[in-house]
A and B are shown apart, each in its own frame.
Chain A
């Protein structure tokens, strides 16, 4: 906990915060509530943590559950690592994505290959930790190291020297694989290995050259997806006989948009679809693609933010409902056109309109009268929906429609209060994170029968408490500066 400062404002804020935390701590202990205890643990001092741990670690079953629960905080995992006796338990902790680096270091044991493999794969393991792991003799550790983007070049080079083909493929796509390694790898494997080498951003020019001429379309496709490919090469690949290679080249953002025009009449719809979603296309090309026989191509043009208004207007009357919906979901769609789409005969198109926050009130009100679940969900989630409509949606019998109000970040507190007693537990879990809820609502939610709700409400109460201290501290500083 923060030490109290000399000024009275901060002292009163700190005192309140301490009282709040003490109250929550007491509640966690008295009610033997592991969820409140979990949410509190990261912010408590050593004494408070010890008290909470009497609840959290009371039984073997609880420790086991916490070692793999996705919401277990790093502070709890760190303490549990010191209690870890058996290999399975250590492996669970090492697999947990929130386990911090220092705890991973503590879990390293040369004899247990299962935890070691989990550490080798862990996103929080740094290059120096990974460099110290014993990998020889364990295929699982080697594989994990090859798949971890933090593994350094030196280890990769050692594994390359003796690793099986399966691992070479992992190394070939590793961000720390260098040109020398990739050149060596290319000579040692099958088409899949050559493909991974060709796609690696460190792939040297001579290997790219060979990949461009490779007889396997897979290798050429991977080359076309290389984020560091030469533009001239990408342009040449647009003439490749294999459509998947041309499509990959079109998707590569290094390819200048003006080059995409060459594929406007490509026989492969896969290629035309890839082109239709690119930004910066010429108006002539967009125009051309907007009449494509494939509706996915037209959909992508309709959703493309750079599509001109007149083309959007034409697509808004397209025979395919999905194309019209894509126009409605396009942020560049003008308000006037949205009004037209709001009266589309297809409810899926009107639902697309309902999510727009630039709708006029009359249109919102018109859509709010519908019974369709997708439309009402859009209206409930729309920050521009008038209060009386939001209230009505919050009282809907369908739990998914009510949830749309909870997902609306602009929903007023008066409506959110109506949902504190929502019978659907997931709705209350999401509600507990709503930014408009105050301390009073969170204090009510920590009595909720659903554990996730209590956990989140406690986290929010802790956050509010810290924000209060921080605001008071800033105010005092401003006053002193005056």
Chain B
């Protein structure tokens, strides 16, 4: 059994950032990079299935689309388990939107032939929440989003899942395999990598592929292949936040007013 886990190195904003002069994004000097939180959970879920079925020859493979620095995200995963990772990147991929990322990952799925794909429900930087579902659409596989419980063993032809809906409601369902699931936070408690694991991960194989390696043409990737384009990023002039000023007594009085307003008392 093979579980493919697409992960993303996301950009975290510094507290006082600046936008690029053309307004299409944030000045990279103000960005820090880290593994997407949702992907921590999806990778943990894959590792748990692997560990719960010792001897069943389950392979967990993290895959990412990104430049060399994104190796860090893969190694963070490999430090916890798994033997190899895959990174797809070349200059032509720069500027790709989620539809292209999904196109690339679907090609990796065709190449790797996994039994199931676990993606994060969304990424905390751009929050499109599209990649997982678009991979499934391209492959013609079953799919389920916002999965917060999973029952799956090697050899199963269906998986039992719970999906998180609005208002605390959960949907229990079975899904035919192969499938793409997008995993929700809280499905498990992700582990911390051991120091030994971190050292070992430095020596694990990361296969680097170009868009051509996975069978895509230049026009399929990057800005050219994308269905959407970021025109401009702006900071809204007015936010809903209120800065409470004045003396401590004034601030306390205003806070009391707000609480009463929210409770519908005032």
| Interface residue ranges, A against B (CB under 8 Å) | 60-61, 64-65, 68, 88, 92, 166, 169, 173, 192-193, 195-196, 218, 222, 399, 421, 423-425, 448-449
Whether the pair B192, A169 counts as a contact (CB closer than 8 A) is no
- By a CB distance below 8 angstroms, the chain A residues around B28 are 61
Interface contact B247-A192, CB-CB below 8 Å: yes
Query: Are B249 and A192 interface neighbours, CB within 8 A?
Result: yes
Q: Which of A61, A68, A166, A421 contacts B29 (CB 8 A)?
A: A61
User: Inside 8 A of B250's CB, which chain A residues have their CB?
Assistant: 169, 192
- How close is B31's CB to chain A, nearest CB, in angstroms? 9
User: Are B18 and A423 in contact, CB atoms less than 8 angstroms apart?
Assistant: no
B194 touches A421 (CB 8 A): yes
Residues of B within 8 Å of A423, CB to CB, are 191-195
Distance of B133 from chain A, by nearest CB (Å): 33
- For B201, the closest partner residue in chain A by CB is A449
Main DSSP-derived SS at the A contact region: helix
Closest chain A residue, CB of each to CB of B192: A423
Q: Is the CB of A448 within 8 A of B195?
A: yes
Q: Assess the A449–B247 pair: CB atoms within 8 A.
A: no
CA distance A389 to B29 in the complex (A): 49
Interface centre among B14, B193, B195 (most CB of A within 10 A): B195
Contact B249–A425 (Cβ < 8 Å)? no
| Measured CA separation A480–B16 after assembly (Å) | 58
B195 touching A449, Cβ below 8 Å: yes
List of A residues within 8 angstroms of B231 by Cβ: none
Task: Give A88 to B14 CA distance when docked, in angstroms.
Answer: 14
Of B15, B30, B198, B247, chain A has the most CB atoms within 10 Å of the CB of B247
Are B29 and A196 in contact (CB-based, < 8 A)? no
Interchain CA distance A150-B193 in the complex, whole Å:
48
Q: Is the CB of B195 within 8 A of A421?
A: yes
Closest chain-A Cβ to B246's Cβ sits at a distance in Å of 7
A195 touches B18 (CB 8 A): no
How far, in angstroms, from A60 to B30 measured CA to CA in the complex?
Answer: 10
Contacts of B246 in A (CB 8 A): 166, 169, 192
- CB closest chain-A residue, reference B76: A449
Docked Cα-Cα span, A177 to B154, in Å, equals 76
In the complex, A222→B193 CA distance in Å? 53
Q: Are B198 and A449 in contact (CB under 8 A)?
A: yes
Nearest B residue to A60 via CB reads B29
Q: Chain B residue with minimal CB distance to A92?
A: B16
Q: Which of B191, B245, B247 contacts A173 (CB 8 A)?
A: B247
Give CA–CA (A423, B195) in the complex, Å.
6
> Are the C-beta atoms of B245 and A425 separated by less than 8 Å?
no
Tell me, rounded to whole Å, the shortest Cβ–Cβ distance linking A254 to chain B. 21
CB distance from B33 to the nearest CB of A (A): 11
Contact of A195 with B247 in the complex, beta carbons under 8 Å: yes
Q: Is B196 an interface residue (CB 8 A)?
A: yes
- Of all chain A residues, which has the CB nearest B202? A449
Closest residue of chain B to A221 (Cβ to Cβ) is B249
- Fill in one digit per residue for B183-206: 1 if any A CB lies within 8 Å of its CB, else 0: 000000001111110100000000
A425 contacts across to B, CB distance below 8 A: 192
Whether the pair A222, B249 counts as a contact (CB closer than 8 A) is: yes
List of A residues within 8 angstroms of B247 by Cβ: 169, 173, 192-193, 195-196
Chain B contacts of A60 at CB under 8 A?
29
| Chain B nearest Cβ from A57, distance in angstroms | 13
Task: Report B-chain residues with C-beta under 8 Å of the C-beta of A424.
Answer: 192
**What A residues does B194 contact at CB under 8 A?**
421, 423
A19 to B104, CA, bound (A): 53
CB distance from A481 to the nearest CB of B (A): 48
Closest to A64 in B: B29
Complex Cα spacing A352 to B249, Å: 35
CB pair A166–B245 under 8 Å, yes or no, is: yes
Q: List 11 A-B contacts (CB under 8 A).
A: A61-B28, A61-B29, A64-B14, A64-B30, A65-B14, A169-B246, A169-B250, A192-B247, A192-B249, A448-B195, A449-B198
A-contacting residues, B10-53, CB 8 Å: 14-16, 18, 28-30
Query: How far apart are the CA atoms of A421 and B199 in the complex, in Å?
Result: 12
Q: How far is the CB of A271 from chain B (nearest CB, A)?
A: 19
A399 touching B195, Cβ below 8 Å: no
Nearest B residue to A420 via CB reads B195
